[in-house]
Amino acid sequence: MPLPRPLRFLPALTVLACAPQPPSTGTPQARPPVELAAPAGDEWYRHAVFYEIFVRSFQDSNGDGKGDLPGLISRLDYLNDGDPGTTTDLGVDALWLMPVFDSPSYHGYDVVDYERIHPDYGTVEDFERLCAEAHRRGMRVILDLVLNHSSSQHPWFVESASSRTSAKRDWYQWSDTDPGWRQPWDLFSKGATWHERNGAYYYGVFWGGMPDLNLKTPAVREEVKRIASFWLGKGADGFRLDAARYLIETGGGLSGQADTPETHAFWKELAAHVRSVKPDAVLVGENWTTTPLIATYYGSTARVPGGDELPLNFNFPLAEELLEAARTGDAADVTVKLAEMRSHYPAGVADAPFLTNHDQVRVATQLGGKAGSLATAASLLLTLPGSPFLYYGEELGMANGTTPNDEAKRTPMAWDASAGAGFTTGTPWFSFSPGAEHTHVAAQVNTPGSLLSRYRELIRARHASPALERGGLKLLTPTQGRAPTLAFLRTVGDERVLVVHNLADVALTAGPFELEGDSSEVLFADPSVGSPLRNGGGWSVTLPGRSTGIWRLR
Catalytic residues: 242, 286
Q: How far apart, in Å, are the Cα atoms of 152 and each of 104, 115, 148?
A: 10, 17, 13
Distance CA 377, CA 436 (A): 21
Amino acid at 161: A
Question: Helix, strand, or coil here: 51?
Answer: strand
d(CA 551, CA 541): 11
User: Which run of H or of E encompasses 522?
Assistant: strand 520-525
List helix spans (H) across 345-465. Answer: 363-366, 371-383, 441-444, 451-463
Work out whether strand 508-513 and strand 238-241 pair parallel, antiparallel, or are unpaired.
unpaired
Between helix 371-383 and helix 316-328 the angle, nearest 10°, is: 140
DSSP 120-176: TT--HHHHHHHHHHHHHTT-EEEEEE--SB--TTSHHHHHHHH-TT-TTGGGB-EES
531 vs 51: CA distance, rounded Å: 32
Question: What is the Cα–Cα distance from 126 to 18, expressed in whole angstroms?
Answer: 54
DSSP 193-257: -EEEETTEEEE-SS-TTSPBB-TTSHHHHHHHHHHHHHHHHTT--EEEETTGGGS---SSSHHHH
Residue 412: its H or E element: none
DSSP string, 470-492: H-EEEE-S-SSS--SEEEEEEEE
Q: Phi/psi at 455 (nearest 5 deg)?
A: -60, -45
**Side-chain-side CA neighbours of residue 532 (13 Å):** 35
With a CB cutoff of 8 Å and minimum separation 6, the contacts of 154 are: 111, 112, 113
* Nearest CA-CA partner of 297 in 351, 334, 216, 339: 351
What span, in angstroms and rounded, lies between the C-alpha atoms of 356 and 335? 19
Q: Residue 496 pairs with which residues in a beta bridge?
A: 491, 553
Q: Please, what is the end-to-end C-alpha distance for the chain in angstroms?
A: 46
Q: Which of 304, 305, 285, 282 is nearest to 295 (CA)?
A: 285
Tell me the CA distances in angstroms from 249 to 181, 245, 268, one per residue in order: 11, 10, 17
What's the half-sphere exposure (Cβ side, CA atoms, 13 Å) at 85?
Answer: 0
